[in-house]
Amino acid sequence: MDAISVIRTKRDRGTLSDEQIDWVIDAYTRGEVADEQMSALAMAILLNGMNRDEIARWTAAMIASGERMDFSSLPLPTADKHSTGGVGDKITLPLAPLVAACGAAVPQLSGRGLGHTGGTLDKLEAIPGWRALLSNHEMLGVLRDVGAVICAAGDGLAPADKKLYALRDVTGTVEAIPLIASSIMSKKIAEGTGALVLDVKVGSGAFMKNLDDARELARTMVGLGTDHGVNTVALLTDMSTPLGLTAGNALEVRESVEVLAGGGPADVVELTLALAREMLAAAGVHGKDPADALRDGSAMDHWRRMIAAQGGDPDATLPVARETHVVTAEADGVLTALDAYAVGIAAWRLGAGRARKEDPVQEGAGVEIHAKPGTEIQRGQSLLTLHTNTPEKFDYALRALEGGVEISPAGTEFKPTPIVLERIA
């Protein structure tokens, strides 16, 4: 077996054999296949695609490159959620303790932000003392004691994917649906969860800009989960407008705590409850309704215990940016668009995100939203507040927002987009 023959097969729109896939993933993980060779193969996959059997085998090979976790010793069924990434998407924070409060264990392996999409681990690290890195033994202990854990994936979990993702990020092949699907599902299947709910974002602030691409990705991932014995469901959800009223690390933690306290923005609450109900149903847990767990304080109790179990102080004061700048409306009318991508880029430029994985983030930086589409607006009214420790970034962030806010004449009819667009199972 050699890398050139594998590349040529996919370059010429052929179907990779099981033996070719197994060999190239193993050889690349060991360093026998060079980065430039795997780059060529990834580009060929982007351009020519893969069939379901190829994707399933590619995913299995990446799983086999590392360890598999086992939660069979837990007394509760397990359920996990994965989001393909968005702006203001803090759903994991209230969701994990909420599902745990309703009777399922949630082993949530999460990641960091890159570019305009925020990262769950970056948000939680705004809480003083909180630790993202746990050993497998520590992770299992938190799950037994609390019922929910949110942490980083260990180096032993699908190492082939970790190496390949870094390569795709710098070679323009991130958008290849077979590689997105296998990347996500190899980690989730190796994680060992019994049920998985996928939140596949659609819109300007998502990687999938249109419904057809999002639907294809969702169906591919649901098929992979099913083929590997994981009960998998996907929701296609809107990401044309930021979720909630904040985009930025500490800002989103505050909003998540508001949701757990029984308040918070309606769209965040709606999506959190929708995903919680899907996770519980997929895990076969039928009992307490998630809305009741928000009302009676049990979800908040699980949040506090989960944060404390990972070294965090749930009562600590969260970081606040030193400088703010208010963006006001330039005309009377109806706010008819607030572009998620523009807000995400603005938050990133203010310091809430990173351009490279090793870059630091400002915990207090981000964008606070004072009006969502459909709101009647008066000239001079506050629309957004920008937060940063580095005020020289305000102009850079404001340029990102140009064209991202649309105010139409008073009386313009506005029809909101549903949060949940489709369900795929």
Asked if residue 196 has pLDDT above 70, the reply is: yes
Q: Rounded mean pLDDT of 201-217?
A: 94
- Of the listed ranges 85-89, 164-168, 391-395, the least confidently predicted one is 164-168
Asked if residue 358 has pLDDT above 80, the reply is: no
DSSP code of residue 16: P
**What is the band of 162 on the pLDDT scale with cuts at 50, 70, 90?**
confident
d(CA 78, CA 269): 22
Burial of residue 175 (number of CB atoms within 10 Å: 0-12, 13-18, 19+)? middle
Give, in degrees to the nearest 5, the angle at Cα 139 between 226 and 284.
40
Q: What is the pTM of this model?
A: 0.93
Q: Rounded mean pLDDT of 171-196?
A: 92
The arrangement of secondary structure in 79-155+163-309, i.e. its CATH architecture, is 3-Layer(aba) Sandwich (3.40)
Token output for 191: 């994680």
Q: Rounded mean pLDDT of 9-15?
A: 98
Could you tell me the residue ranges of all domains in the chain?
A: 3-49, 79-155+163-309, 323-408
**pLDDT on residue 118:** 84
**Torsion sign across C-alpha atoms 170, 174, 176, 180:** positive
**What is the band of 214 on the pLDDT scale with cuts at 50, 70, 90?**
very high
Asked if residue 318 has pLDDT above 90, the reply is: yes
% of the chain surpassing 90 pLDDT: 90
Tens of pLDDT, residues 256-269: 999 999 999 999 99
CB 205 within 8 A of CB 367: no
Q: Rounded mean pLDDT of 220-246?
A: 96
Residue 99 corresponds to which amino acid? V
Q: Rounded mean pLDDT of 209-229?
A: 94
Residue 330 corresponds to which amino acid? E
**What is the band of 175 on the pLDDT scale with cuts at 50, 70, 90?**
confident
d(CA 108, CA 105): 9
**Residue 294 parent element (H or E):** helix 290-295
**What is the band of 240 on the pLDDT scale with cuts at 50, 70, 90?**
very high
Residues serving a catalytic function are 82, 161, 168, 183, 187
E strand residue ranges, 84-225:
106-110, 148-152, 195-202
What CA–CA distances, in Å, run from 325 to 197, 337, 367?
Answer: 38, 21, 10
Asked if residue 156 has pLDDT above 70, the reply is: yes
Q: Which residues pair with 203 in a beta bridge?
A: none
**What is the band of 111 on the pLDDT scale with cuts at 50, 70, 90?**
confident
Q: Rounded mean pLDDT of 230-244?
A: 97
**What is the band of 309 on the pLDDT scale with cuts at 50, 70, 90?**
very high
Q: Give the three-class secondary structure for 36.
A: helix
| DSSP state string for 320-385 | --SEEEEEE-SSSEEEEEE-HHHHHHHHIIIIIS-SSTT----TT-EEEES--TT-EE-TT-EEEE
Neighbouring residues of 311: CB distance < 8 A, sequence distance ≥ 6: 129, 130, 131
Determine how β-strand 382-388 pairs with β-strand 366-369. Answer: antiparallel
**What is the band of 357 on the pLDDT scale with cuts at 50, 70, 90?**
low
Give the mean pLDDT of the chain. 95
Tens of pLDDT, residues 27-43: 999 999 999 999 999 99
Backbone angles phi, psi at 99, to 5 degrees: -65, -40
Tens of pLDDT, residues 66-92: 999 999 899 999 999 999 989 999 999
DSSP code of residue 2: -
Backbone angles phi, psi at 283, to 5 degrees: -85, -5
Token output for 353: 């995100």
d(CA 10, CA 44): 6
Cβ of 406: how many Cβ atoms within 10 Å?
A: 13
Q: Does domain 3-49 have CATH number 3.30.930.20?
A: no
Q: Rounded mean pLDDT of 366-372?
A: 98
CATH number belonging to domain 323-408 = 3.90.1170.30
